[in-house]
Amino acid sequence: MKVSEKIVDLEKREQKVREMGGEIRVEKHRNKGKLTARERLTILFDEGTFREIDMFVKHRSTNFGMEKVEIPSDGVVTGHGLVNGRPIFAYSQDFTSRGGSLGEKHAAKITKVMDLAMKAGIPIVGINDSGGARVEEGIDALKGYGDIFFRNSRASGVIPQISVIMGPCAGGAVYSPAMTDFIFMVKEKSYMFITGPSVIETVTGEKTTFEELGGAMTHNSKSGNAHFLCESDEDALEQVKKMLEFLPNNNMEDPPNLNLGDDPKRICENLDTIIPDDPKAGYDMKEVIQTIVDDGDFFEPHEFFAQNALIGFARLNGRPVGIIANQPMFLAGCLDINASDKISRFIRFCDAFNFPIITFVDVPGYLPGTDQEWGGVIRHGAKLLWSYAEATVPKITVTTRKSYGGAYIAMSSQHLGADMLFAWPSAQIAVMGASGAVNIVASYRKQMKESDDPEKKRAELIAEYENAFNTPYIAAERGYLDAIIKPSETRIRLIDALEIMATKREVLPPKKHGNIPQ
C-alpha cells in the first residue's frame, strides 16, 4: 500500500471511530438533550486544540461473545488540549458506545491520562456518562475501577481533579467522582447512586425515582455529594472552564492572578450600614462578600447545601482567594454537621493548592438538638478545628457581628493559627449572648432573685453585659484581634494583609499524615 493510500486508510478509520455508537444511538442520545462525548470535549477545549490519544484501543474479545461486538474507542475518548490557553487532560465517556460501560481497556485509557496529568503537573477533567462496569469483562472491569481509585487518591492534593456527571453514574462508578475535588451535575440528565430505585424497592420496599434518589438537585442540596447544579451540558462545561481560571496547575504553583480592573483602594460605603441594629435580625453575608471582592465575582460551590455556611473562590486585587463565611440568613449562621464538613473540606482544598483563606464570621454557636448530637456534631465539628489548625496558607479573619463560644474558636481564631484578625465595631465576641449569660452568671442570678422587678432587672443586666463583654474591644485588648476597622475599609485592609502575607512560610512537624476526625 502506498503512503497516500495509508493516509486515506487512516482517515477512514478515524471517521469510523468518530461515528461512535452509530447514527441511531447518537440520535437517541441527542434527543435526550445530551451532547456526545466528543462534542463535550469540543466545548471544553479551546477551538482546534484537543488532541485525542488511544483512539483505536479495543476491548478484549475473549468473554461472553464479546469478540463479535465493536465498541469504538472502547467507550471513552481521552486526550489533552488547552482551556483558556492552559493545558488540561480530560476523558469523556461515550454512552452511545455500549452504554459507556467500563472494561479493562476503557479503564486503562483513563488511567493513562491520569498518569500523564500527574507527570505533567496539570489538571484533569473527567466527564462521566456510563452504565457502569461491563459485566462481560467481570473481574477485569472491577480491576479497572480499582486502578482509577488508586490514582484519584495519589493525585489528590497534587493536581486539581474535576468530575462532570452528564448521565448515569451508579455502583462502584460513583466513587471516582467522590474522590475528586469538585463535582458538576446537570439537571434532569445526570444521576449518582450506589443502588438504583428498583433494587431499593426490592430490598426495603421503599419507592423512589431516579431524580429523587440521585438527581442533580438531590446531591446538590441533600447529600452534598455534588458542588454545582448546571442547567445543561453546555452550562456545566462553561462552569468548569470558569473554575479552571481560578486553579493552579498543581500544588507547587500559586493560583493565577487576573487583574479585573477593580480599584484596590475602593471604599465599600454600603457595608457601614449593612449590619442591622437588632442583633437577632439577619442580613445577607453573600452581599458583604460580593461588595468586597473584585467585580463582585464570587464563584460558589455547594450553593444549595448547608446554606448556613458559604464557601467560594474570588479575587482581591487580582489575587485568587478562598472565602469562607457564616450566613445569618440561614439558621442564624449556626455551625452544624453539614456546615462543618462543607467548610473543612474546602479549607483543605485551599491549603493544598495555595489559596489564602479569608473567613467572615457571624456565628452564634453550634446548632443545638438531639439530631445534631446523635449525628456526631462533635466529630464533625472537630474536623473544622483540625482543618483550620492544619492549614499553612495565609489565614485572615473578619468578624462582622456575633462570635460566641466554641464557634468563635472554630471559625479561624488566632488560637487556631489565623495570621491577621480584624473586627467591625459591631462585633460581639464572648462565651455566649447576653440573654443567656445573665441566666448563668451567679451574681446576675442573685440580683434578679433579690429584685422587686426581676424582668426589669434582667433587662438592665443584659444591657450591662453587652456593654462590658459583647464588644470587640476586650479581644483587642488581649491581642486576639489585630485591628478594629470600619466596614467600608474592609476591602483595603484585606488586600494589604494579603500582600504582606504573600510570602508566608510555615513548616509542620515531620509526619506521614495526621488522623483527621471522622
Residues classed as catalytic: 171-172, 406-407
- For residue 358, the SS3 value is strand
Q: Give the amino acid at 477.
A: E
Reading phi first (left if > 0) and then psi (alpha if -120 to 50, else beta), residue 226 is in beta
Give one DSSP letter per residue of 291-311, joined into a string: HHSGGG--B-SSTTSSTTEEE
One-letter amino acid of 47:
E
Cell of residue 336, nine digits: 452544624
- Triad 307, 129, 125: Cα angle to 5°: 70
Beta strands in 282-353 (DSSP E): 309-316, 319-326
How does strand 76-83 pair with strand 86-93? antiparallel
Residue 151 identity (one-letter amino acid): R
Is there a contact between 419 and 501 (Cβ–Cβ < 8 Å)? yes
Do residues 177 and 127 make contact, with C-beta atoms less than 8 angstroms apart?
no
For residue 142, CA distances in Å to 90, 112, 145, 171, 172 come to: 22, 17, 5, 11, 8
| Beta bridge partners of residue 230, listed in sequence order | 186
N-to-C CA span, the chain: 64
Q: Tell me which long-range contacts 348-353 makes (C-beta under 8 A, separation of at least 24).
A: 348/157, 348/387, 348/390, 348/391, 349/181, 349/322, 350/322, 350/391, 350/393, 351/387, 351/390, 351/391, 351/392, 351/393, 352/156, 352/157, 352/251, 353/157, 353/160, 353/247, 353/248, 353/251, 353/255
Torsion of CA 274, 280, 281, 286, to 10 degrees: 60
Secondary structure class of 275 (helix, strand, coil) = coil
